[in-house]
Amino acid sequence: MQKSAREVLEQAQNEGWAIGAFNAANIETLRAIVAAASKLRSPVIVESSSGETKFFGAENLVDVVKNFREELNLPIFINLDHSPSEEEIKVGLDAGYELLHFDGGKLPFEENVEKTKRIVEQAHAKGLLVEGEIDHIGGSSAPHLGESAESAQKSTTYTDPDKAAEFCKETGVDTFAAFFGNVHGVYKEPPKLDLERLKKIREKVDCFLSMHGGSGIKDEDVREAIKVGRIAKINVNTEMRVAFREALEHDLKKTDEVAIYKIMPPVIEAVQKVVEEKIKVFGSEGKA
């Protein structure tokens, strides 16, 4: 019997490692994630942002992930990442996503609680997990190499531990996205994490914690965050996007090949390498 997403998150939290949640918008990226998970016998979450979901198609993505899971007998799950509305959550819910992240961080607290609570009721009725947040993470999943991480941190609202505890208690979310200096994207230098704040969030919040912005953080800081915050899920996108683009540009310069299936293997390998490195840092190798 395959473990459920909840069982894997519980195991991760108890044993002090994290499951990687890797964004995918196309079959090549998905293949790279799955190949890394298979090689290292690691559980993984495949996830899609709003734009990525529209590009691939929610039902297509769910079907492909489930096909890989059965074919390889690996705990591979599918998460709807940063869903901005109840309408989009419904698309994920109907398509069969197993984890749903509702991003109500820009809403007034009470409205966020009300909507998240409603989503939790619908999702739990189907045995699905919900992730929520009360803040806004700065940056975007792209290279911002001319900018300092501090500039993205300035547009991040850092999580208040008491408010986070109140939100989790009132909504019943399974996972809480904590912001303590982590930002989307890669910058001139790695962001400095506020691990004291993370420690307080961990003490107050009684659900799984996720860390977004898994690209561009120093490996030792990631390990420390997993330890201090018992972080169970880490989201990664930018480093994979950059590897994809760089490998593709490099390949296209070398060849006039037009068969896509001949062009893409080195691109898949480049993205796979990023995913493998993350799996090793997150400590999920061999946990499948």
Any catalytic annotation for residue 162?
A: no
Is the Cβ of residue 145 or residue 252 nearer to ligand 13P in the bound state?
A: 145
Considering the complex, what minimum distance in angstroms separates the CB of residue 236 from ligand 13P?
4
DSSP class of 3: P
Is the Cβ of residue 211 or residue 247 nearer to ligand 13P in the bound state?
A: 211
Is the Cβ of residue 142 or residue 263 nearer to ligand 13P in the bound state?
A: 142
Considering the complex, what minimum distance in angstroms separates the CB of residue 33 from ligand 13P?
13
Considering the complex, what minimum distance in angstroms separates the CB of residue 278 from ligand 13P?
9
Is the Cβ of residue 162 or residue 246 nearer to ligand 13P in the bound state?
A: 246
d(CA 173, CA 212): 16
Copy the structure tokens of residue 52: 């990525």
Instruction: Report which of 127, 122, 83, 118 is spatially closest to residue 102, judged by C-alpha positions.
Output: 83
Is the Cβ of residue 75 or residue 214 nearer to ligand 13P in the bound state?
A: 214
d(CA 85, CA 53): 14
Please, what is the angle between helix 219-229 and helix 195-204, to 10°?
30
Considering the complex, what minimum distance in angstroms separates the CB of residue 24 from ligand 13P?
11
Active-site residue identified among 81, 103, 135, 174: 81
Considering the complex, what minimum distance in angstroms separates the CB of residue 257 from ligand 13P?
30
d(CA 133, CA 102): 7
Q: Which positions lie near ligand 13P, rule CB under 6 A?
A: 23, 81-82, 141, 184-185, 212-215, 235-238
Instruction: Report which of 91, 88, 26 is spatially closest to residue 102, judged by C-alpha positions.
Output: 88
Positions of E strands within the chain: 19-23, 44-48, 76-83, 99-102, 129-132, 139-144, 175-177, 184-187, 208-211, 231-236
Instruction: Report which of 207, 195, 118, 111 is spatially closest to residue 159, judged by C-alpha positions.
Output: 195
What are the residue numbers of the active site? 81
